[in-house]
Structure 1
Amino acid sequence: MARPKHKLADATVKSAKLKPGRHGDGAGLFLQVEEEGGSRSWLFMWKRDGRRSVIGLGGYPDTSLALAREKAEACRNALARGEDPRLALRKEQAEPTFGETVGAFLDEDREASWRNEKHRAQWRMTLLGPAVQKGKRRRAPDYCRHLRPMKVSAIGTEDVLAVLKPVWRAKPETASRLRGRIERVLAFAKGQGWRSGENPAQWKNHLDALLPKPEKLKARGHHRALPFQGLPGFYARLRQRKAPSARALEFAILTAARSGEVLGARWSEIDLAEKVWSVPASRMKAGRAHEVPLVLRAIEILTDMAELRREDDEYVFPGQKPKRPLSQKAVDNLLERMKAKEATTVHGFRSSFRDWAGDATTFPRELAEAALAHVVGDKAEQAYRRGTALERRRKLMTAWADFLASSDAKGRTTGKPASADVIPLAGRRKAKAK
């Protein structure tokens, strides 16, 4: 009995309300909607000898529903002939477009090796464009909209520069990543035999002569950060705020964690008995699991959030929508309400922590770097230093929490105890060493 086909309609595929995940059109064709960013692409899946395989058919809307069905039919015909649909499809696509090449590059096998969903979604959004967002006043930029319809064999240096120049100075980090992604897609196309010659997105000995070096542009764009000396006063004002976003920001400051790690924190990662937060490798920037010692105030925050926990909600800091975490925008808005957005970013508090640890304490540099989940040393040193120094880091984070609580909202010293590893700041009462 033949499997039903053509379950999807154009209106369904276009709908901004389409939920993340795979939506079947029938007979092996699926529309993949990403969790982060909502970008969409087509997949064809089949099973042979008990093994499931998948191939990307291109991103939507460059690859329409009708075109995706044509490609899926070609794949089914190849299977009927006993051929591999991937090889058959590539033969038919002697000169695919850039959009189609991106779809082939971002197939599931390649994506499975990447760090996490957010990383995968960023590739899709920058190369295939953002999803349609009905009712939104602002929409994420579609960087590669002019490249996607072009035959991949015809893309030259001027075409790549037309994508990069509008954002190169304004968003150097984004532009640099975009260039690298385009370069990798075009390198993939060359490996498939779809284009020849030099890579027009190559940086060394090519674009480096045509564009300013990104390092010089980035030097003007470090994350804004408060001087650590002024942090206790800010922290005291933050403690007075009652919103969940305030507790999330406070937790981020206490743990020196990245905002994405905090906002995505799940209850399954928290061990209140051991006072440890275990962040899995899939959610870490470096792709390595990270254990965070939890100080007393962090435990208090978690206890308060547990009392507000909704049924079946896995996120420690839930958003307004069910089963969704608190958004980055909610925390950014909090900084704006506190009139601190011009002075710092959420990420900037990690810089404040690092400056405090280096300038105002005697804790080893390696310990502070470990607290920030930075990889220290070369590969040989990393192989021998497998311990997490959890208890030593717990002392560091306790001293950090004491420092944060050392002033009230008006900047007056509260008399909190100081660790023996903390250097008394000028103008403050010296605390006796333990």
Structure 2
Amino acid sequence: MAAKLTARKVATAKPGRHGDGAGLWLAVASTGAKKWVFRFSFGGKVTEMGLGSAEVVGLAQARERATEARQMVAAGKNPIVEKRQAKEKHAARSTFGDVADDLLAAKASEWRNEKHKAQWKMTLEVYAAPLRPKPVDEIDTEAVLSVLRPIWLEKPETASRLRGRIETVLDAARAKGHIPRNEANPARWRGHLDKLLPKRPKLSRGHHAAMDYADVPAFIVQLRERTATAALALEFTILTAVRAGEMRGAQWDEFDLEKKLWTIPANRMKAAREHRVPLSDRAAAIVAAMAEAKTGDFVFPGATGEKPLSVMALDMLLRRMGQAVTTHGFRSSFRDWAGNETHFAREVAEAALSHVIGDKAEQAYRRSDALEKRRALMDAWARHCEAVDASNVIPMKLTGD
């Protein structure tokens, strides 16, 4: 009986067939290509089954595959048929990506805004990318850990959201019958992953870098030297103390310039409640200036005019101006100014920032949004921002820089 193959013999094998015993052969083509073949008898016929390229499948693995096939033959099963059926069954199973995409589509109407929807989509497509091609019923604890570990300590908040969203996708898969109902969710935190992952740093968004409110007037002067849409958008955001996303999504039908009022619908607000924003003369003038260059539905459009201004446009502008602050930080500037330099009630300042104040009972009795008091507050803030340069001249020719 010929000696069995060795790794050395496999590497140096010449064209032809080289036996390892028990039906396993190494077939070497004249081109040098090598593949494993299992030769067996089934139903009175001698048949061959490919076990993979020798460039990919090593000798030990080829022997394991041959042993599995041999056991099927002994059990009266054709390993070729079994392999094909297993492949077809695997192809028909829903993947994590399939379930995740279906979940996003089903929940589309529930997202607070497009940004929230985009965050879910990005998390499940980027951070959970290694899970997407896997059959959803094969996602186990180790698979979940493989995508969490790389960012667990470096990006704790992102990792926490990723874990929760993976858990939601797997729960949806269970509800659809893709996963047995008696199996525990491998992305569950309490009593499971909390025992396997190190303690995370306390989740905190921290404070957005803000400009001292005393420096805002001088900054406004510098800002008005620029003619880009981003410059007007940033000044408008500062004057109204809104979130950047609320400004970016602003559309013409939300404004009543005669009343100097901007009404942001609930579906675009973080608190999911309509927010009325009184406009100072300068803020209203900026909207009027944008109207003269109107290109579409958005008051502050992007380069093509069909979509809103880029989410990075304001931050990039601040960087070019040498400012180590964030757009969101100007809300803090406004709040510090209101608290330190004015006698307006705390509730009025908080309402201007669209913050929810008090418990549910208090909110139920507070029907008014104190619009006129907030108008006086925002006019005072605009005067503060005009302290250095009282000019209301707005560049009418907008550029992309």
What SS does the aligned partner of 1:149 have? coil
Whether the aligned pair in 1 keeps the contact of 2:96 and 2:133 (CA below 8 Å) is yes
Q: Does residue 185 of the first structure (1) align with residue 169 of the second (2)?
A: yes
1:198–1:337 Cα change, 3 Å: same
* Partner in structure 2 of residue 300 of structure 1: 285
Equivalent residue for 1:218? Answer: 204
Give the whole-Å Cα distance in 1 for the aligned partners of 2:329 and 2:105.
36
Aligned 8 A contact 1:94 1:194 in 2:
no
- Equivalent of residue 96 in structure 2, options 92, 95, 98: 98
* Amino acid of the structure 1 residue aligned with 2:316: N
Deviation at 1:180, TM superposition (A): 1.8
Alpha-carbon distance in structure 2 between the residues aligned to 1:289 and 1:147: 39
Map of 1:64-79 to 2, 5 A cutoff?
A: none
Following TM superposition, where does structure 1 have runs of at least 4 consecutive aligned residues deviating by more than 6 angstroms? none
The secondary structure found in structure 1 opposite 2:369 is: coil
Deviation at 1:102, TM superposition (A): 1.2
Is 1:143 aligned to residue 141 of structure 2?
A: no
Check 1:198–1:353 CA distance in 2 against 1; reply closer, same or farther (3 A cut). farther
| Alignment counterpart, residue 229 of structure 1, candidates 208, 214, 228 | 214
In structure 2, how many angstroms separate the alpha carbons of the residues matched to 1:101 and 1:326?
Answer: 32
Matches within 5 A, 1:20-419: 96-108=94-106, 110-127=107-124, 129=125, 142-195=126-179, 196-209=182-195, 210-213=197-200, 216-218=202-204, 221-310=206-295, 313-340=296-323, 343-407=324-388
The amino acid that maps onto 1:386 is R
Change (3 A) 1:236 1:227: same
Contact 1:281 1:289 in 2 (8 A): yes
Amino acid at match of 1:124: K
State the distance in 2 between where 1:115 and 1:162 align: 30
Structure number with higher helix proportion:
2
Q: Distance between the aligned counterparts of 2:313 and 2:199, measured in 1?
A: 35
Is the alpha carbon distance of 1:124 and 1:247 closer, same or farther for their aligned partners in structure 2, counting shifts above 3 Å?
Answer: same
Structure 1's 351 and 197: CA in aligned 2 closer, same or farther, altered over 3 A? farther
Q: Does the CA-based 8 Å contact 2:152-2:200 persist in structure 1?
A: no
Q: 1:305 to 1:355 in 2, by over 3 A?
A: same
Alignment check: 8 A CA contact 2:238 2:331 kept: yes
Q: Is 2:220–2:385's contact at 8 Å kept on the other side of the alignment?
A: yes
* Aligned alpha-carbon RMSD (Å): 2.4
Instruction: From the superposition, tell whether residues 388 and 161 of structure 1 become closer, same or farther in structure 2 (CA, over 3 Å).
Output: same
Aligned residue identity for 1:103? D
Shift of the alpha carbon at 1:245?
0.7
| Cα distance in 1 for residues equivalent to 2:321 and 2:216 | 13
For residue 217 of structure 1, report the CA deviation from its aligned partner: 4.9
Q: Distance in 1 between matches of 2:343 and 2:246?
A: 27
Deviation at 1:268, TM superposition (A): 0.7
Structure 1 distance, partners of 2:204, 2:247, is 25
Cα 1:233–1:145 change in 2 (3 A) is same
Corresponding residue of 1:80: none
Query: TM-score, length-normalised on structure 2?
Result: 0.69
User: 2-side partners of 1:379 and 1:217: how far apart?
Assistant: 26
Q: Measured at CA, do residues 299 and 107 of structure 1 come closer, stay the same or move farther in structure 2, by a change above 3 Å?
A: closer
Cα separation, 2, equivalents of 1:329 and 1:117: 16
The structural deviation recorded for 1:230 is 2.2
| 1:186-216 CA-partner distances (Å, limit 9, x unpaired) | 22223334334333323334434524445x2
Which is greater in Rg? 2
Q: Is the 8 A contact 1:267 1:315 kept in 2?
A: yes
- Matches of 2:329 and 2:189 in 1, distance apart? 30
Structure 1 pair 400–205 and aligned structure 2 pair: CA distance change class (3 A)? farther
Specify the SS of the correspondent of 1:291: strand
CA 1:396–1:320: 2 relative to 1, 3 Å: same
Give 1:349 deviation, angstroms. Answer: 0.9
Deviates more, 1:317-326 or 1:149-158: 149-158
> TM-score, normalized by length of structure 1?
0.64
Q: Which runs of 5+ in 1 are unaligned?
A: 1-91, 130-141, 409-413, 415-434
Give distance in 2, aligned partners of 1:293 and 1:335.
26
Counting aligned pairs with the same residue, the percent is 55
The separation in 2 between residues aligned to 1:361 and 1:208, in whole angstroms, is: 48
Q: 1:276 to 1:380 in 2, by over 3 A?
A: same
Deviations 1:265-319 (A, max 9, x none): 1111110011110111121122111110000110111121111223xx1111122
Letter in 1 for 2:301: P
Deviates more, 1:114-123 or 1:238-247: 114-123
Provide the secondary structure at the position in 2 that maps to 1:188.
Answer: helix
Give the 3 Å change call, closer, same or farther, for CA 212–233 of structure 1 in structure 2: farther
Name the count of aligned residue pairs.
Answer: 299
Q: Which segment is superposed worse, 355-364 or 369-378?
A: 355-364
